[in-house]
Structure 1
Amino acid sequence: MKYLIALLGALLWANTATAIGPWNRECEGETPCLLGDRSYHVRAPDDWDGVTPLPVMLHFHGWQRQGTLIVQHQRISGATHRRGVLLVAPNGLGRSWDFWHAGTDDVGFARAVLQDVKERYPVLADQVFVSGYSWGSNMAWRFVCEDGADVAALLAISGTLSQTEDCATAPREVRQVYGLNDQVLDYPYGPNGELDYPVYLWREKFGCDTGAPQGLWNARDFLTFERTTWDCSGGRVSLDIHPGGHFIPHGWIARQLDELLGLPNSYP
């Protein structure tokens, strides 16, 4: 209910926002945008002209982090601001997220954040990406599982939900990366040791057949990914596996955005 009130407040504020214009950027970077009793952070592209509609990436931070880190993080904001993407980083209560069950308030909060962002900035409605790392990745899964019908792609890093979860909605595309040596959120092998199990839920929901190996790729010489993709009747799924542990891989978000936006692959 409290986020419904926040949504209504954002809509009532729309006329004022239109008068001020899309250059209304009084709560950017480390200065939080307040939304009821919660808040979020935002970083616009460095060379944005203040008018051109922007793709958006909503990124959920990891455990004991906040959005202040996300808008400064080289592997996250370093990727978005160079590619003309508006980065949005909600703050979790207690520096964490409630993704454990359906109907969590954090799903409603994230939706209210996106609505508030649309009142502050011109947003490309068909280019809304949802991302997260670790527990933030779990939260990103939870959000698109319950309210992801308008999400262009899920970009999930080192975290999932149970692969037997019953999801009411889904994004148009899912991109997951996971380290085989992850010792924080162990790699989710299948019942018989299947390596493709981290995206089993989405492959079932999208009606996928056999995956197509895409070979090896890397953004930096010290970390190589092995990619498998599924082009399915209901959407597209890709899984990048690497031999490392629990971290945001250098260049991974950048590569996903390049491919999703039709840009030349580059680093950073």
Structure 2
Amino acid sequence: MRRILIVALALSLVLAACTSKDGGKDGGKGGKRPATVDGIATGAGTHQEKIDVGTPGHREYLLHIPAKVADGKWKDGKLADKPALVIALHGGLANMKQMESLTGFDKLSDGKGFVVAYPDGFMTTWNAGSCCGAAKIGKIDDVGFLSKLIDELTGAGLADPDRVFVTGFSNGAGMAYRLACEKPGKVAAIGVVEGSLVTECDPDRPVSAMIFHGTADRSVPFNGGGNRDFNDKRPFPPVSRAVDFWRRLAKLPEPHENVKALSGNTDCQGTGKGEQGVEVTFCKIQGGTHAWPSEASEMLWRFFDAHPRKG
């Protein structure tokens, strides 16, 4: 028994030497990683976090931190090299965990070294303007929520404020549009998958945008149509309207440059980069339905990585 106790004590001393009292790791790369920064977990993996938005209750999000970031260079409790941040917004009647599973961004994050946040909508919906559901009816300030999320993660030094990217699916894609419309200074680029621009939009600066849409989408029809919400029978505008809006805002030509896609049924055309490196790319998925394309996540990251905010 005494020998077992001695072995256990020795093991505990070894572990204590590898981990700081607050749970941070001392990797010998410029200092110890704190267990949290401004209350946000810093360890490798996915953490469920809460954020106070000044209303009753709180909002939640998942935060995935790759080992490349957690084990990177820390100095005085701060990351020396701040990573990019991708915020992924789930579709209507879904949640943050489903978005994490749907996109596969965690695996990409681990390989490429960017941080991913998966926020939860209000009662499974986002207030994207004239859509959708409970969030719209309740006039939930989702722009405020997402803006504060960005501020907290960049303010804590866990993300580069010039490399914040927002993507979404369906209702979440509409929310990505709205955030870019109202807070363009907070995002470098957006990625829209099977979504529609259904909010008033008058940003004071352009953002880069990559837009995916299937020609056989019946929920948000490619050429417009359907109903915006259960209590709003107005049709969705065609996807071309959103493509034209963002390129004209940036004074860009119509998409004409071929962009390499990862599957044969996806045809991507880009405008080329304009002022401050802004670009719009439109990916038409022949026969694509209301679903997240298997190639979307990798292509979105490739686009995001090439379009940091400038100026």
Tell which deviates more after alignment, 197-206 or 56-65. 197-206
The CA distance in 1 between the partners of 2:173 and 2:205, in whole Å, is 15
The CA distance in 2 between the partners of 1:127 and 1:184, in whole Å, is 31
Q: Could you say what the CA RMSD is over the residues aligned between the two structures, in angstroms?
A: 3.2
The CA distance in 1 between the partners of 2:204 and 2:168, in whole Å, is 18
Match of 2:284 in 1: 241
Q: What amino acid sits opposite 2:60 in the alignment?
A: S
Residue correspondence of structure 1 range 76-87 to structure 2 within 5 A: 76-87=105-116
Match of 2:251 in 1: 207
Residue correspondence of structure 1 range 208-227 to structure 2 within 5 A: 208-214=252-258, 217-220=260-263, 223-227=264-268
Note if contact 1:96-1:135 (Cα within 8 Å) is conserved in structure 2. yes
Match of 1:39 in 2: 60
How big is each residue's C-alpha offset from its partner over 1:224-265, in whole Å with a ceiling of 9 and x where there is no partner? 211121134473111000111111111222123124425xxx
Note if contact 1:71-1:87 (Cα within 8 Å) is conserved in structure 2. no
Larger radius of gyration: 2
Does 2:127 correspond to 1:98?
Answer: yes
The CA distance in 2 between the partners of 1:258 and 1:177, in whole Å, is 14
Distance 1:32 1:135, change over 3 A: same
The CA distance in 1 between the partners of 2:86 and 2:238, in whole Å, is 30
Distance 1:237 1:21, change over 3 A: same
Match of 2:46 among 14, 29, 37: 29
How big is each residue's C-alpha offset from its partner over 1:31-63, in whole Å with a ceiling of 9 and x where there is no partner? 233434212111112433253411001111111
Q: Unaligned regions of 5+ residues in structure 2, if any? A: 1-32, 73-78, 131-135, 226-236, 307-311
Helix, strand or coil at the partner of 1:202: helix
Tell which deviates more after alignment, 52-61 or 201-210. 201-210
Distance 1:92 1:27, change over 3 A: farther
Match of 2:233 in 1: none
- Structure in which a larger fraction of residues adopt strand: 1
State the TM-score, normalizing by the size of structure 1.
Answer: 0.77
Residue correspondence of structure 1 range 110-259 to structure 2 within 5 A: 110-162=146-198, 165-188=200-223, 196-214=240-258, 217-220=260-263, 223-231=264-272, 232-233=274-275, 235-243=278-286, 244-259=288-303
Q: What amino acid sits opposite 2:217 in the alignment?
A: D
TM-superposed CA distance for 1:79, in Å, is 2.7
Note if contact 2:173-2:194 (Cα within 8 Å) is conserved in structure 1. yes
Distance 1:204 1:171, change over 3 A: closer
The CA distance in 1 between the partners of 2:160 and 2:141, in whole Å, is 26
The CA distance in 2 between the partners of 1:112 and 1:260, in whole Å, is 21
TM-superposed CA distance for 1:165, in Å, is 3.6
How big is each residue's C-alpha offset from its partner over 1:90-139, in whole Å with a ceiling of 9 and x where there is no partner? 11111101111699611001011112223445211211111111000000
Distance 1:46 1:69, change over 3 A: farther
Helix, strand or coil at the partner of 1:240: strand
Query: How many residue pairs end up in the alignment?
Result: 240
The CA distance in 2 between the partners of 1:61 and 1:71, in whole Å, is 8
Match of 1:3 in 2: none
Higher relative contact order (CA 8 A, sep 6+): 1
Distance 1:30 1:44, change over 3 A: closer
How big is each residue's C-alpha offset from its partner over 1:170-210, in whole Å with a ceiling of 9 and x where there is no partner? 553111110010011111459xx987434121122112233
Note if contact 1:70-1:77 (Cα within 8 Å) is conserved in structure 2. no
The CA distance in 2 between the partners of 1:189 and 1:230, in whole Å, is 23
TM-superposed CA distance for 1:27, in Å, is 11
Note if contact 1:72-1:78 (Cα within 8 Å) is conserved in structure 2. no
Distance 1:71 1:119, change over 3 A: farther
The CA distance in 1 between the partners of 2:210 and 2:35, in whole Å, is 38
Distance 1:40 1:197, change over 3 A: same
